[in-house]
Each structure stands twice: as C-alpha cells, then as structure tokens.
C-alpha cells in the first residue's frame, strides 16, 4: 500500500480514530475509577470515624480517652498509612493513633458545623499527602457537654498506587481492544473496497476486449461510477468512429485527383515530355502511398473487441494470390502454420500485415519464401523469410522508417513496412528484421493469441 492508496488512507483514519477513542475512554475510565475509589475510601474513613466516636470515654478527671483500639492494624503501625486524631479544644489536649508517632494531623483552622463530615487534603508524616475526614461531635463529659474534633486520615499514596495499577490493567485491555478493532476495521475496509476491485476487473476485461462495457453489479454508490465509465467508453467509440470516417473520406477524396494527375502524366509522356511525366508520377505515387497508409489506419478497429482470426486459411489465400503474380511464379512459397492457430486481430488487418510482408519477400526472393507461425505462451510468433540478398544490419532501422524501401529501383512510396508497423503497434506488436535461415531477410512479429 502506497501513500496514495485508498485502503491505506482508510486504515490510517480508522487507526487514528481508534487511538483517540481509546485514549479518551482510558482517561475517562481511570478518572471514574479514581472517583469511585475516593468514595470508597471516604466511606471507610467515615466508618473509622464512627468507630472512633463510639470508643471515646472520659476519665474521672474529665480527660477524653479511647477505650480499646480501632480494628485496622495500620493504626498501630508507625507511619502505617492510616491515622486518627481527637482534639479537645476545651482542655487543649490531643489524642492520636500510634501510627502518627510524634506528629500530628495539621488540620485547617476552621469550625465546621457539629456532626457534618469535612474532607481535607493535608500534609502528613514522612512528606506524605493525606486524605482527611473530620467531624465535630458533642460528648457528655462529667463536667458537662464537650465538643471534640475527630479526624481520620489515609495516605493518598495508597490511592495513587491503586489508580496506577488500574490504569496499567486498563491500558493492556485497551491495547488488545484496539488491535481487535483495527483487525475489524481492516476487514471492513476490505469488504468496502471489493466493489472497486470488481470495477477494476471489469475495466481489465474491457481493455482486453472480453467485454464492450462495464457490467458490475455493485452497491448504489458504485452505480454512478459504472454509468459514467460506460458513457465514456461509448463517447470514445463514437469519437473514434467519426475520426476513422473523416480519415477515410479524406483519403478517398484524394483518389480522384491523383487518378487525374496520373492521366495527365501519361498524356505528357505521349507528347515526349518524359521528365515532367516522371516527376508527376513519382509525386502521385508517393501521395497514393500515404493515402493507402491513412486508409489502412482508418480501417483499424478497436483492438479490445478484435475477433479471433484463424491464421492458416488467410495465409493459404495470400499464398495462392501471390503464386499467380509474375514475381510469384518463379518462387516456391512454403507455409508452416498449424491449422488451429488463431490470433486476436481483425482479418483485414492481419491480411494487410502478411500481404505486405509476403509480397516484399516474393519480390526479393531468389527462389524460396516461407511463412511460419507458432504459439509462444499467450502470443503467436510469425516469421516471413526469403532467400534473397537480405538487408545489411545497419540499414534495417532505416528500412522500417517512414518511406524506407527495400528496392529503390522499383516504383511505390516505400510505405508498405510503415503500414505494417502501424497495424502491429495498434495491436500491441512490433516488427523486427534480421537474418533468415534461408539466407535472406526474416521479418518477425508477434500478436496476442485468441483465447489468451
């Protein structure tokens, strides 16, 4: 997946959403747990306050004392993390738990209403921070009613440790949940992109000629895309048809003036003006060659819809025609084509290619011409060979250029091989020239096999 991949973008967006959502959820869960923990700790401190209040008694001298010990052993352990304190403001006396040792709870200097629990965060022993619940209560002392300030405190480090342990557990759980969600999002993206994959396969079928239009049954969101692509294909076909028609009309429109020019050249030659007649005939021949090339181009159809054309019958027909020509009467034309071979090309286009190549081979052969075709994977490889003089390796590229000719002493514009090159390029092929096993020239090309 690249940076321009829709799948990657969707997965990155999903991952970002999952990370943000899980981070917010994790922070919220930890906050709620902390709130719950503080309420729970507060309820325990209130219970300790009730136990502390129930254990307060007064001695004969009127001093407040605690009868018995509170149930939690941390009250008896020095700096045990749980502390209590009773302050008698009337006498200036303070009772405190053993856990406070030689320190006192630094309660704020306020006078909360009697009976109401106040909550404070204060400094504790050993640089600790304490959560304190205090309550002012009225007791019946021997010398009358007495207001005592009762306080119970817990070390906030215990709360922080529980919060950290919970956060660690939540983080692990959220990581596992995030991984599961990403897998689910990946599956969702894969399922959601399947219609696009179907469109891609449909376009590949259209490009390969297996279908003329997209035929994809997908969700409603894909239907407009399919319709637009089909409309584009129809518009392209219409534009190509109009262009071919205009090219054909233009080429046919030049034929009559060319015929008139050649007739004028013959009349000039008859009057003895041979040089002028030769110039006109050469110019007209070149123009006719270009027109033939444009007509061949105009006849080229869309290669995507090309039918399967059997090779053997067409090759036999071309060989029979060439054998009746003056040049063909003196050479042996051999065919090495399996009967079942077929190529994905219009019959007329294949005839244009093989006809030009075989005609050139017959014209230059000393006595033998061979057309061979064999299947090589998904393509059919053709070779048209002769036993003529051939072409020097350095001249082969020039021969394939527009206007290049094998025989400069003959007539014609030398566009036969150019036409062949145009037709082959239209169908994804290319013409190459090399030395033939017969001793002359070998013209080779390959075309898609039918059914490949």
Between residues 119 and 285, which one has the greater pLDDT?
119
Q: Give helix 6-54 / helix 156-208 axis angle, nearest 10°.
A: 160
Percent of the chain whose predicted confidence (pLDDT) is above 70: 88
Question: Which tokens sit at 243?
Answer: 């262009």
Residues 223, 204: one domain? Answer: no
| Predicted local distance difference test score (pLDDT) of residue 290 | 65
| Predicted local distance difference test score (pLDDT) of residue 16 | 93
Residues 3, 135: one domain? Answer: yes
Stretch 428-439: mean pLDDT: 89
| Predicted local distance difference test score (pLDDT) of residue 293 | 60
Residues 35, 95: one domain? Answer: yes
| Predicted local distance difference test score (pLDDT) of residue 223 | 82
| Predicted local distance difference test score (pLDDT) of residue 304 | 57
Q: Is the pLDDT of residue 115 over 80?
A: yes
Sort 124 into a burial class: Cβ within 10 Å, 0-12 / 13-18 / 19+: buried
Which tens digit of pLDDT belongs to each residue from 346-386? 888 899 899 999 999 999 999 999 999 999 988 999 999 99
Residues 269, 395: one domain? Answer: no
| Predicted local distance difference test score (pLDDT) of residue 332 | 92
Which tens digit of pLDDT belongs to each residue from 301-357? 556 566 788 999 999 999 999 998 888 889 999 999 988 999 988 888 899 899 999
- Contacts of 402-411 spanning 24+ positions with Cβ under 8 A: 403/286, 406/360, 406/363, 406/364, 406/441, 407/363, 407/364, 410/363, 411/285
Strand pairing partners for 74? none
| Predicted local distance difference test score (pLDDT) of residue 233 | 82
| Predicted local distance difference test score (pLDDT) of residue 346 | 86
CATH number at residue 406: 3.30.565.10
Which tens digit of pLDDT belongs to each residue from 62-91? 889 998 888 889 999 999 999 999 999 888
Least confident of 49-53, 314-318, 390-394: 390-394
Residues 191, 236: one domain? Answer: no
Mean pLDDT value across the chain: 84
d(CA 66, CA 53): 9
Residues 273, 285: one domain? Answer: yes
Q: Is the pLDDT of residue 47 over 60?
A: yes
Q: What range does the domain containing 91 cover?
A: 1-208
Q: Which candidate, 351, 278, 258, places its Cα nearest to that of 310?
A: 351
Residues 382, 432: one domain? Answer: yes
Q: Total domain count for the chain?
A: 3
Q: Is the pLDDT of residue 295 over 70?
A: no
Q: Is the pLDDT of residue 410 over 60?
A: no
Which tens digit of pLDDT belongs to each residue from 121-154? 999 888 899 999 999 999 988 888 899 999 999 9
Tell which of 277, 299, 321 closes a domain. 299
pLDDT confidence bin for 406, thresholds 50/70/90: very low
Residues 248, 262: one domain? Answer: yes
Which tens digit of pLDDT belongs to each residue from 243-288? 777 776 776 676 677 777 777 778 878 887 888 777 787 777 777 6
pLDDT confidence bin for 299, thresholds 50/70/90: low
d(CA 48, CA 432): 101
| Predicted local distance difference test score (pLDDT) of residue 277 | 76
CATH number at residue 219: 1.10.287
Residues 188, 222: one domain? Answer: no
| Predicted local distance difference test score (pLDDT) of residue 49 | 93
Residues 184, 326: one domain? Answer: no
Residue 124 neighbours by CB under 8 Å, 6+ apart: 83, 103, 105, 130, 153, 155
Stretch 28-34: mean pLDDT: 94
| Predicted local distance difference test score (pLDDT) of residue 409 | 39
Residue 85: CB atoms within 10 A of its CB come to: 21
Residues 313, 269: one domain? Answer: no
pLDDT confidence bin for 28, thresholds 50/70/90: very high
Tell which of 299, 315, 338 closes a domain. 299
Q: Is the pLDDT of residue 421 over 70?
A: yes
Stretch 409-415: mean pLDDT: 43
Tell which of 208, 230, 258 closes a domain. 208
d(CA 317, CA 312): 9
Which tens digit of pLDDT belongs to each residue from 151-204? 999 999 988 999 999 999 999 999 999 999 999 999 998 888 888 888 888 888
Residues 283, 313: one domain? Answer: no
Q: Is the pLDDT of residue 402 over 60?
A: no
Beta-strand runs (E) in 338-440? 342-344, 368-376, 379-386, 432-435
């Amino acid at each position: 997946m690249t940076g321009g991949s829709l799948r990657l973008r969707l997965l990155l967006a999903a991952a970002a959403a999952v990370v943000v959502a899980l981070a917010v959820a994790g922070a919220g869960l930890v906050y709620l747990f902390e709130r719950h923990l503080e309420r729970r700790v507060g309820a325990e401190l209130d219970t300790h306050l009730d136990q502390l209040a129930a254990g307060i008694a007064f001695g004969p001298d009127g001093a407040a004392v605690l009868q018995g010990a509170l149930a939690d052993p941390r009250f008896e352990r020095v700096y045990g993390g749980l502390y209590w304190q009773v302050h008698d403001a009337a006498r200036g006396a303070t009772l405190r738990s053993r856990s406070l040792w030689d320190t006192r709870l630094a309660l704020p200097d306020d006078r909360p209403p009697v009976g109401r629990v106040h909550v404070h965060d204060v400094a504790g022993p050993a640089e600790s921070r304490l959560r304190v619940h205090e309550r002012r209560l009225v007791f019946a002392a021997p010398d009358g009613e007495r207001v005592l300030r009762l306080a119970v405190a817990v070390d906030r480090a215990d709360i922080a440790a529980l919060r950290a342990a919970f956060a660690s557990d939540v983080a692990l759980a959220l990581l596992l949940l995030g991984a599961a969600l990403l897998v689910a999002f990946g599956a969702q993206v894969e399922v959601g992109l399947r219609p696009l994959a179907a469109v891609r396969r449909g376009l590949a079928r259209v490009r390969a000629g297996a279908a003329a239009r997209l035929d994809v049954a997908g969700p409603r969101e894909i239907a407009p895309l399919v319709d637009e692509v089909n409309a584009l294909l129809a518009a392209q076909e219409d534009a190509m048809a109009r262009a071919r028609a205009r090219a054909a009309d233009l080429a046919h429109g030049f034929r009559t003036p060319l015929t008139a020019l050649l007739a004028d050249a013959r009349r000039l030659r008859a009057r003895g003006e041979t040089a002028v007649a030769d110039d006109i005939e050469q110019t007209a021949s070149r123009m006719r060659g270009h027109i033939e090339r444009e007509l061949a181009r105009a006849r080229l159809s869309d290669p995507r819809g090309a039918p399967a054309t059997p090779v053997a019958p067409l090759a036999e027909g071309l060989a029979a025609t060439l054998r009746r020509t003056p040049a063909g009467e003196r050479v042996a034309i051999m065919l090495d084509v399996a009967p079942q071979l077929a190529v994905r090309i219009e019959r007329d286009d294949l005839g244009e290619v093989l006809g030009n190549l075989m005609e050139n081979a017959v014209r230059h052969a000393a006595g033998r011409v061979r057309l061979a075709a064999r299947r090589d994977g998904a393509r059919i490889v053709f070779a048209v060979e002769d036993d003529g003089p051939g072409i020097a390796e350095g001249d082969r590229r020039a021969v394939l250029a527009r206007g290049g000719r094998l025989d400069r002493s003959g007539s014609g514009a030398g566009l036969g091989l150019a036409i062949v090159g145009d037709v082959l390029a239209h169908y994804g092929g290319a013409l190459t020239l090399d030395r033939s096993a017969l001793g002359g020239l070998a013209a080779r090309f390959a075309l898609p096999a039918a059914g490949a």
